[in-house]
Amino acid sequence: MSKLNFNAYHPILDIQNHVVFGSNGNVVLCYQVELPEIYSLSEMDFEALHSMWFQAFKSLPVSAVVHKQDVYQKKGYDANGLPRGTFLAKATHDYFMGREQLVHHSYLFFILPLDKVLNATKYVTPFRKVEKGLHRKLDVQVAEFITSVNDAVSYVNNSKIVSLMSMEPDAILKHTHDYFNGFNVDYDTNIQFGKGSIEIGDHYFDVMAINNEGCFGKTVQSSMPNGKFSSDGFGFHKGFMDGLGLELGVNHMVNQILYLDDTHQWRRQLDKKIEELSKSSNFGSQNKVVRTKIEDILNKINGDETSRIVRGHVNIVFWHTESGVLKRIASGIKAQLKELDIRPYHPNGEERTHYFLNSYPCHATNFSNEDLFVMDLKAALCLYTNNTNYRSDETGIVFNDRQYNVPVRKDVWDEEKKRIKARNFAIFAPTGEGKSFLANNILRQYFESGVRLVVIDLGGSYAKFAQLYPDDHVILRYEQGKNLGINPFYISEQSDLTPERLEDLALFLLELLAETQVTKSKEVALKKVLLYYYDKVRDGHSLASLYQFVDRHKDTLIEETRVRESDFNVYGFLHILSEYVEGGLYSFLFHVEEDQTYRIEDKLLIVFELDEVRDNKEILSVMLKLIKSAIQRTIWRNRSERGIILFDEFAKQLKFPNVLESVEFYYQAIRKQNGAIGIILQSINQLPENATSASILENTQVIYSLRNEKGYDELARRLHLSNHDLNQLRSIRNNLVGERKYTEFFIKIGKESNVFRLEVPPEVYAAYLTDGVEHGQIMVLYEQFGNMELAITEFINDKRKMI
């Protein structure tokens, strides 16, 4: 067994920005790669990604080496980035802290070999010092190489599919140290090379490789069906080699190394090789196979002007703390490659050491022809891994990824409007699939980040969550024959009657009057009447008071306000509004005892529960107008303040034209505010197919959909979803048994889409429950303690005692 002390043989001579000058004379340009999220790519996306790499690399100079290295490490989830200032936030933080996941880092290295030489002998000492011809500064040769690499990098970054970011010197040194330190943490160690494996600190290493043409079957391709999610009805794709990435689930790295050769030189060599094989007197069956493969390569070169021949090498370095486990990992890698009709090579002894040491970027020029396959660049790029972990945004709502259920933050507000121009959202799911549960999760996190919420609820789904914040919420519940306590006409002093307030009141009355053709003249006339009323009546303002005032002045009002009778019909006004004042059918809606608007002005969460009125379109329509007036007086008074208005369980009511139009008003008005509208429906078909619904959907750019056994074709049609969006929807699977229960759901933010999961700790689950036996048990405890946090804690403790 031999040892290597890495510090005595450091491979880096100097670093200038992201350019490494290797001790062996090579120059390496280092980049971190930001790949698309796993499961986010369609079959066409994989084709586009493959084409992008080809276009970027095809013009790189002869003798350049491109080394893509993907490192996958098992790590515990660090929840310190999650908030923990509230009961539910702390429960979430504690629940996910340390959860095991596979973390992926992708790197791309462009290497200029010393003297542009790429004909290494079988074994090259990677740490050899080279004095003659050593690059020590940015000479002309290096400058030309950097220019060509910059062109390739710019092409990749302009594609918007992948991002390449120059590595900082500290990051390069850390990558180097981690590599030769065997990814051991908190201590330095040396490398021991033995017959059985490579040992570095606590980790045992082994290698599998694809190093010659004989490893491959008939074809390679950019993508293939993903058997985990595909079925007879649809095809969900993954990259050809992606089974060796995140799906492998073990500590490993994938090295994909390409030597960019001179195609014309290869054409001459291949012609010569075919000639030799044809003339051979010992022309046996094996020679015929080889000649056929070479002729196939040559035909591809001659038939495609864009073709470029490369030599390539792929290896998978894997490690574990127990040497015996390495055999099981190797079997898993072989199984993945067998599905691709690839037969890997398993190096031993000195060759394994050679593969490990020379898979470090500075040494990637050291592979000999015996270690390399010959292939067209287009085919070789099919061997790239294409995706990475779910990516968290800096701010946003915490969901879970689809691999390990670890938290992932998505910015569905998009303050800078990078993805979306309107942040309105919709949630679609049949009964029992968890749409209110998901809505609770979204709204609770918005609330805890200081967003003001207004929930217009016909199902009673938010009371329990609200009661966790007793000082910050108010629930206004409609009861038969009673009002909500909202008086749109109330002003505390004359200065409250601003032009905006007058405009809102005029619109409120016009809607109540059901004016079908509202002209500017009618608006102005109504505002003059209101100004006259407020000037003459100094207190006790209400709809009844306004009605009585108009009634008293009905014979002189037109003259006193100087409006035309055609713009303000006094008797029509009195006739229609008679239904809403004393003696009228709906007088209770505007009955004034006290104005409750003051109660909601400083509340972050306002819930209007209209369950009892859900089937009366007249009362519901008026209720929405009253709520709108309250929102205008409170929620929208400060345009810099973020706010969300959510309509829940509105399916049946949206069939009423006046209700749908009331909802559309919010969509029009929200554009002027720093806010969003949300709607929750069982099916998109519950939105009637008309211009109003089309306007609502057009202004809804964040879509959530949970599982729907009846399918998603209508959702796809009306929201213009792509085929891959539809395939993602069809791939949704829930797991409601076992220790880690979760639901899956689809999110589309602008043009970006993926499937996420929702797994929550017991405290959060209890807070979001909206019905059932357990919900009832929690509410009994709440009645007992008068404290929802205490009730949930007691409920969970009681359940744990029963287990």
Question: Which is more confidently placed, 652 or 591?
Answer: 591
pLDDT band at 277 (very low <50, low <70, confident <90, very high): low
pLDDT band at 420 (very low <50, low <70, confident <90, very high): confident
Is residue 281 predicted with pLDDT exceeding 50? no
Classified as helix, coil or strand, 320 is: strand
Span 603-625, pLDDT tens digits: 888 888 887 777 777 777 788 77
pLDDT band at 288 (very low <50, low <70, confident <90, very high): low
pLDDT band at 7 (very low <50, low <70, confident <90, very high): low
**Can you tell me the distance from the alpha carbon of 525 to that of 567, in angstroms, rounded to the nearest whole number?**
6
The average pLDDT across 322-335 equals: 94
For 663-667, 685-689, 792-796, which range has the lowest pLDDT when averaged over its residues? 663-667
What is the predicted pLDDT for the residue at 132?
53
- Asked if residue 796 lies in contact with residue 94, where contact means CB atoms within 8 angstroms, the answer is no
Q: Which residue has the tokens 């405009």?
A: 503
What is the predicted pLDDT for the residue at 19?
95
Longest CA span, the chain = 122
Span 381-410, pLDDT tens digits: 999 999 999 999 999 999 999 999 999 999
Q: Which residue has the tokens 């429906």?
A: 681
Most confident of 539-548, 594-603, 660-669: 539-548
**Can you tell me the distance from the alpha carbon of 207 to that of 122, in angstroms, rounded to the nearest whole number?**
17
Q: Are strands 252-260 and 237-239 parallel, antiparallel or unpaired?
A: unpaired
Is residue 239 predicted with pLDDT exceeding 50? yes
> In 10 A of CB 483, how many CB atoms?
20
What is the predicted pLDDT for the residue at 375?
86
The average pLDDT across 42-49 equals: 94
The average pLDDT across 301-326 equals: 87
Most confident of 85-99, 469-483, 504-518: 85-99
Q: Encoding tokens for residue 580?
A: 């809403």
Mean pLDDT of the chain: 87
pLDDT band at 512 (very low <50, low <70, confident <90, very high): confident
**Can you tell me the distance from the alpha carbon of 211 to that of 371, in angstroms, rounded to the nearest whole number?**
5
The per-residue DSSP string of 686-707 comes to GS-SSHHHHHHHHTEEEEEEE-
For 124-128, 161-165, 396-400, which range has the lowest pLDDT when averaged over its residues? 124-128
Q: Under 8 Å CB-to-CB from 590, ≥6 apart: which residues?
A: 483, 487, 542, 543, 544, 580, 581
Is residue 118 predicted with pLDDT exceeding 70? no
What is the predicted pLDDT for the residue at 137?
57
Dihedral sign (CA 57, 61, 63, 66)? negative
What is the predicted pLDDT for the residue at 199?
93
Question: Which is more confidently placed, 655 or 767?
Answer: 767
- Provide the β-strand partners of residue 473: 605
pLDDT band at 268 (very low <50, low <70, confident <90, very high): confident
Dihedral sign (CA 546, 552, 553, 554)? positive
Question: Which is more confidently placed, 793 or 132?
Answer: 793
What is the predicted pLDDT for the residue at 31?
98
What is the predicted pLDDT for the residue at 341?
93
Q: Encoding tokens for residue 176?
A: 């180097």
Q: Under 8 Å CB-to-CB from 570, ≥6 apart: which residues?
A: 550, 554, 557, 558
Q: Are strands 743-749 and 700-706 parallel, antiparallel or unpaired?
A: antiparallel
* Burial status of residue 787 (CB atoms within 10 A of its CB: 0-12, 13-18, 19 or more): middle
Span 52-76, pLDDT tens digits: 999 999 999 999 999 999 999 999 9
The average pLDDT across 555-571 equals: 90
What is the predicted pLDDT for the residue at 301?
67
Residues of the chain with pLDDT > 90: what percent? 50
- End-to-end CA, the chain: 53
Helices (H) and strands (E) in the chain, counts: 25, 26
Q: Are strands 252-260 and 452-457 parallel, antiparallel or unpaired?
A: unpaired
pTM: 0.87
Is residue 595 predicted with pLDDT exceeding 70? no
Span 732-790, pLDDT tens digits: 999 988 889 999 999 999 999 999 999 999 999 999 988 889 888 999 999 999 999 99
The average pLDDT across 283-305 equals: 66
The secondary element (H helix, E strand) that includes residue 272 is helix 263-279
What is the predicted pLDDT for the residue at 209?
96
What is the predicted pLDDT for the residue at 772?
83
pLDDT band at 15 (very low <50, low <70, confident <90, very high): very high
Q: Encoding tokens for residue 223?
A: 């993508």
The average pLDDT across 179-199 equals: 88
What b-and-e string marks burial along 162-200, b requiring 16 or more CB atoms within 10 Å of the CB? bebeebebebbeebbeebbbbbeeeeebbbbbeeebbbb
- Asked if residue 226 lies in contact with residue 246, where contact means CB atoms within 8 angstroms, the answer is no
Residues of the chain with pLDDT > 70: what percent? 89
- Asked if residue 500 lies in contact with residue 636, where contact means CB atoms within 8 angstroms, the answer is no
- Asked if residue 453 lies in contact with residue 604, where contact means CB atoms within 8 angstroms, the answer is yes
State the number of CA atoms in the 13 A half-sphere of 91 facing the CB. 16
Is residue 705 predicted with pLDDT exceeding 50? yes
Span 339-364, pLDDT tens digits: 999 999 999 988 999 999 999 999 99
Q: Cα 308–310–313 angle (5° rounding)? A: 150
For 69-73, 652-656, 792-796, which range has the lowest pLDDT when averaged over its residues? 652-656
Q: Are strands 65-76 and 100-112 parallel, antiparallel or unpaired?
A: antiparallel
Is residue 250 predicted with pLDDT exceeding 60? yes
